[in-house]
Structure 1
Amino acid sequence: MNATVLLLDADGVVQEGDPGFRASLEALCPEPAKVGEFVAGVFAAERPCATGERDFAEALGEVLNRWNIPGTLDEALSCWERVEPSGQVLDFVAELRGAGTVVALAANQQNYRARVLRELLAYDDHFDALLISCELGFVKPTAGFFGAACARLGIDRADALFVDDGMPNVLGAREAGLAAEHDHLSEGVGRLRALWAQHSVPR
């Protein structure tokens, strides 16, 4: 293969989400019998924010108001801050970039989470670009996302290897003309190294 650019998903590939994320959301619900309905409402409010149509804090605040949950917006937003980057993956990214390879994050995120990636995790310092759905106006696995991502980098789709822990996103990338592989942090950084070696242009 001839990939010269590596695109990595965030959650599950570069970072691990909080295993207690859903429980933290459920704890905000004032009616235990309606926890499922509350959480579904939160996720429904988040969906349009992933393409930049809405501000997530505003959308989440509306959900909390509907459920008469006062004064908890900051607490609720903090649920999206709890992530653990993989030091081994970031070290590999630094190694590739040091050798001249472009490495970018390619993730579905709403604007509050994008802020977390940029400000709390300082990912702008670790990657050549952050290709985030709310800023591109498209979500994975649509062809629009991959087209916009490659256009932002100024590359042909055939130049990129995309790695994601969700098969629908992998298949969407392949249909859009990118090389794409499935991977998860649980496989260890060795698999990510092997995938890059398999697809990349030798340097």
Structure 2
Amino acid sequence: MSTALRCVLFDLDEVLADYDRAVRVSRLALAIGSTPAAVREAIYESGIEDAADSGALDAVAYLDALSAHLGRTVSVAAWTTARREATRIRPDVLALAQALGTRLTVALLTNNGVLLAQQLPRIAPALFPLFEGRAFASAQFGGRKPEPRVYRDCLDRLSMPASSTLFVDDNAANVVGARQAGLHAHHYSNFDGLRSALAGFGLP
């Protein structure tokens, strides 16, 4: 007899959405009058993004740090627009999440900063209202996947037991972390694989 799931917890990038870093970098560079190389270094090599993802920088401090590093003002609007243009929701996975949402709780946990959590309804409006109140960034829990406590704290917020939750992520290390936290977990590589994993729980 399969375990009865009460919650499916999705990763965002490369599961629910295609995410193109090059698009994000180029759009933000254009918006602030900088170069793609400088923006790429600021976001992905300076440590600022990692600090925000782990909760060490709140939304204001994160944008201030990027602005200081780049010598250009990075506004909420410019940052959000660049992230939105780099994010494309996968219709098949979204439709599956919507079907699941009629039977159990669906939620989202992404390694990102507080700013993304705040702006996600504008970055990926197709995810709402399905994930309303249940779309979380790792920064909200003071860490990053694959730290087991991040999953546990997220489930505490959802009032869901780990033993009744399936976590879905494209990063193998994050899948291992989820299992260490007591969740069921699926390493996402393609849509058919996810469907098969869900079928093992009698879903959708």
TM over 0.5: yes
Instruction: Tell me the residue number matched to 1:62.
Output: 65
C-alpha distance in 2 between matches for 1:21 and 1:140: 24
AA matched with 1:15: A
Structure 1 gap segments, 5+ residues each: none
- Percent sequence identity over aligned pairs: 26
Q: Name the counterpart of 2:176.
A: 171
Query: Is the contact made by 1:50 and 1:111 (CA closer than 8 Å) also made in structure 2?
Result: yes
- Alignment partners' CA distance in 1, 2:36 and 2:129: 42
Distance 1:178 1:75, change over 3 A: same
Alpha-carbon deviation of 1:97? 1.5
Q: Distance in 1 between matches of 2:104 and 2:13?
A: 22
Q: Find the partner of 2:51 among 33, 48, 52.
A: 48
Select the structure of larger CA radius of gyration: 1
Q: Contact conserved, 1:41 with 1:63, CA < 8 A, in 2?
A: no
Q: Give the TM-score normalised by the residue count of structure 1.
A: 0.80
1:57 shift after superposition: 4.7
Task: Find the counterpart in structure 2 of residue 94 from structure 1.
Answer: 98
Q: CA deviation at 1:133?
A: 1.3
In 2, the alpha carbon distance for the partners of 1:66 and 1:14 equals: 31
2:11 alignment partner in structure 1: 9
Extract unaligned runs of 5+ from structure 2.
Answer: none
Task: State whether structure 2 residue 186 is matched by structure 1 residue 181.
Answer: yes
Q: Which residue of 1 aligns with 2:124?
A: 121
CA distance in 2, matches of 1:202, 1:37: 43
Give the number of equivalent residue pairs.
Answer: 196
> 2:35, 2:123 → 1: CA distance?
32
Taking structure 2 as the reference length, what is the TM-score of the superposition?
Answer: 0.79
Once the two structures are superposed, the pairs formed by residues 146-157 of structure 1 within 5 Å of their partners are 146-157=151-162
User: 1:33 & 1:183 partners in 2: Cα distance?
Assistant: 31
Matched residues in 2 for 1:80 and 1:22: separation?
5
C-alpha RMSD of the superposition: 2.9
Distance 1:34 1:202, change over 3 A: closer
Question: Secondary structure of the residue that 2:112 maps to in structure 1?
Answer: coil
Distance 1:107 1:174 in 2: 16
* C-alpha deviation, 1:35, in angstroms: 7.3
- CA-CA distance at 1:196 after TM superposition: 0.9
Distance 1:89 1:33 in 2: 33
Q: Which residue in 2 is equivalent to 1:85?
A: 89
